[in-house]
Structure 1
Amino acid sequence: MAPSLEELSNAQPITQKMVDFINESKSPYHAVGSIKKRLLDSGYEQLFEREANWEQKIKPCGKYFFTRNHSTIVAFAVGGKFAAGTSGLKIIGAHTDSPHLVIKPISSQKSSGYLQVGVQTYGGGLWYTWFDRDLTVAGRVILSDGQGKFKQHLVEVKRPILRIPSLAIHLQREVSTDGFKPNTELHLLPIIGTELGELSDDPNTKGFIANHHSVLLKAIAEELKCNVADIRDFDMSIADVQPGVIGGVNNEF
């Protein structure tokens, strides 16, 4: 039986929280960060795997969590009558990731005067849905402080800098009869700009910076308010700029 309008209205606050969480989680790292904030706001205490005194910290009726590699998070609550070695437990598992496109370790590509970003598919996705969308990048960046130390930062470029265009119908007549069947290696190459944007680049650049287009690194550096030279590594996902919304004439979708 379909829900009533009253039931839909009552569910709106919960639904909106879910939509907000999805919009905040444009990469697995962002998803873990969003979950961590919600757990702390709900009274959970963070534990650290490098600490050796967990037994002293974990108490009955306590709520705790820990993270690993900033891409996995484990939360648990201890019952008031829990007895180590005899009491049971229940486990619920979920993903912090989903099928998406990931920037390759060496992503710099060019074709016909356009700058392209090499990506690879992650998971089993409906890849045709990524065409003709305003796309951006989000994920984890490792920065150097110039004194031999490195620190992780989350970053999301909050503007459309990428697009995977589809061909006009007169250039692919067979799509009407055979369907749209993109080659993930050849056709899923987001365009980030034209070669004009890199005419002044130093051709002798080496190392990590030479593996990616300078315009991409500059966009990331602008968000982090750092120098491109400070970026030592990253793990970046392609993400849709358009946020998720609640739709339908009665907000039922």
Structure 2
Amino acid sequence: MSEPPRFDRGHTDDLMSFLAASPSPYHAVANAAERLEKAGFRQVSETDAWDGTSGGKYVLRGGAIVAWYVPEDAAPHTPFRIVGAHTDSPNLRVKPLPDTGAHGWRQVAVEIYGGPLLNSWLDRDLGLAGRVTLRDGSTRLVNVDRPLLRVPQLAIHLDRSVSAEGLKLDKQRHLQPVWGLGGDVRDGDLIAFVEETAGLAAGEVTGWDLMVHSVEPPAYLGRDKELLAGPRMDNLLSVHAGTAALAAVSATGGGLPYIPVLAAFDHEENGSQSDTGADGPLLGSVLERSVFARGGSYEDRARAFAGTVCLSSDTGHAVHPNYAERHDPTHHPRVNGGPILKVNVNNRYATDGSGRAVWAAACERADVPFQSFVSNNSMPCGTTIGPITAARHGIKTVDIGVAILSMHSARELCGVDDPWLLANALVAFLEG
């Protein structure tokens, strides 16, 4: 059967490449920076003095990136248009003493990061990726992107109750992956393996931020290939769309009424309270320094922030065909129906009526349909970096995203058209 026409399969193909190449937040920001470099952006150091020149610039800090484009005619009080997202996803992360095992099995001690769907990590081929810190204080990205680890599920013959009572996992005992055999578990085995794999000298690694990831690549799914299955869509889908949108807007040169910004933070999945999280000072510091570098005063900073709008872009919930009763009965976002506007009157999302108007105007300009999402009143609502950004910086913020299934699974599901539709809406928003 021939494939039906798509809006832009090339964007979705590039998203798949981005997801596969970004098994950790550190890889995600490096890949975003590489794309921005090709669009003419340059990295600036937080420890250097900044100049007020126009053009594209970005700051990297750990698993976070803030990038912005200053048009030639920008004034010190020119407001910002910000696309906010996060780079982290729930997973299993390596503990400080990683080497463990029992009964002839070599295992890796892991800690649960965020709120993953634990069962989705069982019986899955897993690689190892992240960042290591060397004796000289420098860092190196590492990615063992092959079947290395596995969390084996207990056979049904040894737990007959699982069929009637459901799977019950103890987070401490049941999720430690195996990665080999041997009765003598030696401290330092895993890090020595990482050093050897990365071409580093023995004992050179003194710190690590390592995590497991599924090595199964993203793939088109379904009869007509209208679905996309892959890892870390929450929320690298938004990071990719925001990066593409910022690069596209920067190519237009001057004449922009706003300064377009991409702010992709780490640690959203566990509260955003870090120096690279949305509840930290990174975004505010970058925006203020941009104002002051262009000769602005505190008054200019206040004027710029007062006119600034942020779109907090994060994945949301599409209506699930097997659990429709878990959704609000009148709000059923569907995949490939366009990005979603998230609303919660208790401020779990930052959207209000005026913010909705900003989003609606951007979608209308881009000729992009959008849907509305609210939670079922009988269930607690999740949250995003949106309310944090609004409260910390006094910036009008609107929560939007793409509707997916299997959120927080090791492998999530979306429609192939929605990422492209989101990117186009973001371009229209950043252009003003």
Shorter-chain TM range is 0.7 to 0.9
For 1:204, the equivalent position in structure 2 comes to none
Counterpart of 2:193, as a letter, is A
Please tell me whether residue 177 in structure 1 is matched to residue 164 in structure 2. Answer: yes
Distance 2:130 2:179 in 1: 17
> 1:66–1:75: 8 Å Cα contact kept in structure 2?
yes
For 1:157, the equivalent position in structure 2 comes to 144
RMSD value, Cα = 1.7
For 2:373, the equivalent position in structure 1 comes to none
> 1:29–1:71: 8 Å Cα contact kept in structure 2?
yes
Q: 1:167 aligns with which of 137, 154, 162?
A: 154
For 2:80, the equivalent position in structure 1 comes to 89
> 2:192–2:203: 8 Å Cα contact kept in structure 1?
no
Q: Deviations over 1:91-143 (max 9, x none)?
A: 22111111111101122222112111111111111111000011111011122
Please tell me whether residue 5 in structure 1 is matched to residue 4 in structure 2. Answer: yes
Q: Structure 1 stretches (4+) deviating beyond 3 angstroms?
A: none
Q: 2:60 aligns with which of 63, 67, 89?
A: 67
Quote how far apart the aligned CAs of 1:15 are: 0.3
> 1:157–1:219: 8 Å Cα contact kept in structure 2?
no
Please tell me whether residue 106 in structure 1 is matched to residue 97 in structure 2. Answer: yes
Distance 2:203 2:98 in 1: 17
Quote how far apart the aligned CAs of 1:178 are: 1.2
Q: Deviations over 1:43-75 (max 9, x none)?
A: 1111110101x1x2x334x1111111x311001
> 1:26–1:138: 8 Å Cα contact kept in structure 2?
yes
Q: Deviations over 1:173-223 (max 9, x none)?
A: 111111112111110100111125x57x6xxxxxxxx3x4x1x22331232
Structure 1: which 5+ runs fail to align?
Answer: 202-209
Counterpart of 1:169, as a letter, is I
For 1:191, the equivalent position in structure 2 comes to 178
Q: How many residues align?
A: 225
Structure 2: which 5+ runs fail to align?
Answer: 228-432
For 2:385, the equivalent position in structure 1 comes to none
For 1:27, the equivalent position in structure 2 comes to 24
Please tell me whether residue 116 in structure 1 is matched to residue 107 in structure 2. Answer: yes
Q: 1:128 aligns with which of 111, 119, 127?
A: 119
Quote how far apart the aligned CAs of 1:157 are: 1.1
Distance 2:132 2:30 in 1: 14
For 1:47, the equivalent position in structure 2 comes to 44
Distance 1:160 1:219 in 2: 14
Distance 2:10 2:31 in 1: 18
TM norm structure 2: 0.50
Counterpart of 1:50, as a letter, is T
For 1:138, the equivalent position in structure 2 comes to 129
> 2:45–2:59: 8 Å Cα contact kept in structure 1?
yes
For 1:248, the equivalent position in structure 2 comes to 222
> 2:134–2:205: 8 Å Cα contact kept in structure 1?
yes
Distance 1:182 1:45 in 2: 47
Q: 1:79 aligns with which of 71, 75, 91?
A: 71
TM norm structure 1: 0.83
Please tell me whether residue 231 in structure 1 is matched to residue 223 in structure 2. Answer: no
